[in-house]
Amino acid sequence: MNENKNALNEMDQARLKLNIEHYIKYFIGKRTCEITKEEAFTVIALAVREFAMDKMYETIARYNKVGSKRIYYLSIEYLIGRSLENNLYNLGLYDTLRDIKIEGFPDISLQDIFDAEYDPALGNGGLGRLAADYLDSMASLGIPGFGYGINYQFGLFKQKFENGYQVEQADSWLEENSPWQFARYDRTVSIPIGGHVEMYTKPNGKTGYIWADTHRLYGVPYDFPIVGFDGKSVNYLRLFSAKTDEQLDLNVFNNGGYMEAVRDKIQTETISKVLYPSDNVISGKELRLTQQYFFVSCAIQDIIRRFMEKSNDFSKLPDYVCIQLNDTHPALAIAEMMRQLLDVYNQEWDESWDIVTKVFAYTNHTLLPEALEKWSSKIIGRILPRHLQIIYEINRRFMEFARSKFGDDTYKLGKVAIVDGEGDSQVIRMANLSIVGSFSVNGVAKLHSELVKKTLVPEFYELWPEKFTNVTNGITPRRWLVHANHLLCDLICDKIGKDWIVNLDKLRDLEPLATDKTFAKNFMDIKKQNKKRLVRNVYKATHIMIDPKSMYIVHAKRIHEYKRQLMTILQVVGDYLAIINDRKHPLTPKTYIFAGKAAPSYTFAKLIIKLINNVAKVINEDDRANEYLKVVFIPDYKVSVAEYLIPAADISCQVSTAGFEASGTSNMKFALNGALTVGTYDGANIEIREAVGADNFYLFGLTENEIRQKRLSYNPREIYEKSEYIKRILNAVNSTMFADSNYPQQFSPIVDSLLNSDYYFILADLEAFNDAIHKAEKDYTNAELWAKKAILNVARIGNFSSDRSIMEYAKKIWHIKPVD
């Protein structure tokens, strides 16, 4: 057996070496000694991709052989992260590459080559990273699962800071074609848009519809291999780029209309340029809607094409296909599937709707009303007139059913209607369409799923209680421990073996080692090394030097008021004022680390970023305080940044207003790497606290129920008047202490918002948050106690694996089994 394995390793090494040399010579076109680290990454990635594609073909053949049902995951974003190092490990080629000697190859370290890979700009935050983790788990478990999305050229944006303000720059990750992607021009799909709908009479006397005078777009698919752990299964993520067949109108060009000649091409390809274009203007809204339609039409057509390779009996479609909607962005897929079945394949309405409602499942990710998408009927009618007709008919039939249950209860009927309002103000509620058109609706944490049923859509729960379920989110240990924290991974493997990598519950075997002094020392030494790595990266990104011996308190996530980065920086201000006014020094030096992006049009969130950066500048330059307190904001937060930030954290701030965070996954990543959580009773925090133990979690703040009860009578100004601690902080923020010299009232909008509204209960929770931070600070000074708490967090976090989440989806919702 060992001889065969050695022979295979030698064959892989010879092939990999030959591939690399081939791509240097014939793809890069240089002598080996001349290539840069970026070119070295490209040729190695192309060479490794060949191994991945071989495994992908084997995987698809295995699925086809057993005729397996497939899950198609539709998500507007995927935050994939770098792939080379991850794929090398999963394919068993890491050591193989390390041992290869290529004559003339420059003296470039493997780490420098890994760092030369640019993060794919295909996502923004938790929604996109969750989708990427789920694809990893599907492949690792042998689940026939495939992702669909948009191949954004620029993604969201590259974040920079100028004078403390967030500045958005184009994130042109596809400037150089990704070596991981390969185009499938043979699978290009044609997409109609615009035009109008004409009625005609079918031979059977029924009314048919023709979508006429449309403009044609084309979706070109690019496949991105998703390599599962051990490389046995390789699925793929299919991303579509928008193209047009009208490259250049020569008549217009030759008559001097140079820009007009390529206008159609430019407008069409804009669809796949940027993730989440601003919807503050009508053109932005239209672009967002067009993006969502483009994406789901490409996906639905591709899914139907693949099904029809097996059968043209659409009644069998639910036996082979399940489509998971990752939030409401893909909700138009329901109307598009109906259009395809009715207009393209001539199915009847009742049969088509029966198929649709057996195929689609919907995951809700938010309780925020503004995040539940609504589209103007006027805009839909202009861009997608046939879809608007179909949605109207879905709504008409559904409302007949709803009346049979609710009678003339206009309140309940109004809450469940897909179509809301009349005239120019009429909107289509995409969450309602998703619920009506799906056979399953799930939340992503126990509390969140209960709130979906009880407060978000209780009328739908009354209609269909059997539709609603919970699948708590999870994270992939391959990315967030094996890949991101090699040293800790090696220590764990040395003690309990490698089974935990695919069965995270096995980390429980670490529990007895929480009081083992040798293991605890090794564990904390690794934390120190990870902190030193972070010091280097922070300095490179910000030119700020932080102390690796200080306590690292990290708040890293998308900037939003409900995530309460504002509360964290107010607590920092409180610490700073205690140092300079009261000469009260912390028990241990502390470094507060922020990371995250604000949406370009989210003015208040961007002002919070400015406040954080101004506070950081004042504290870091104040010799009275900077020995004890530092603040840094790492720009352009993305997966590759998270991979060196998370393993270094001591404290993870998970401080969302209770009842607002659906789940969160950064809380899981930090705990998996030995950080302790300071958090509210919200989202997955609740389940994490139950798992790791109340003694190993710093809980604070009002509960969702308490906030609901206080909402009508809440008076934040009264809290301000009664609390000297809070008053001193807000007065400082409202003064010139942190403001730019030419803008003394710079942060008054923040203070005014807190005193007059404080919708997210920051002042109500601020003192409790301060107490929790100081309790953690005290415990941190007891090295033995802290190590025990950190180890127990790692040992007890096993339930939060995305493998567990995916198996729950597979069993409870998709009814799909792994294919060995």
Residues taking part in catalysis? 365, 557-558, 563, 665, 669
For residues 363-392, one letter each, b for 16 or more C-beta atoms within 10 angstroms of the residue's C-beta and e for the rest, the string is bbbbbeeeebbbbbbebbbebbbbbbbbbe
CA atoms within 13 A on the CB side of 769: 32
- Number of C-beta neighbours around residue 718 at 10 A: 11
Distance CA 169, CA 172 (A): 9
- Number of C-beta neighbours around residue 158 at 10 A: 18
> What are the CB-based long-range contacts (under 8 Å, 24+) for 771-774?
771/700, 772/678, 772/698, 772/699, 772/700, 773/553, 773/571, 773/651, 773/678, 773/698
Burial of residue 27 (CB within 10 Å: 0-12, 13-18, 19+) is middle
- Supply 160's token pair: 């920079």
Angle at 792 between CA 655 and CA 506, to 5 degrees: 115
- Number of C-beta neighbours around residue 700 at 10 A: 19
Q: C-alpha distances in angstroms, 787 versus 90, 523, 644, 695, 791?
A: 31, 8, 20, 13, 6
CB 367 within 8 A of CB 660: yes
End-to-end CA distance of the chain: 21
CA atoms within 13 A on the CB side of 674: 29
Residue 221 host element (H or E) = strand 215-227
Residue 283 host element (H or E) = helix 282-308
Q: Which residues are paired to 632 by β-bridges? A: 593
Three-class SS state of 408: coil
CB 538 within 8 A of CB 544: yes
CB 54 within 8 A of CB 279: no
DSSP state for residue 228 in the 8-state scheme:
P
DSSP 164-196: TEEEEE---GGGS--TT-EE-GGG-EEEEESSE
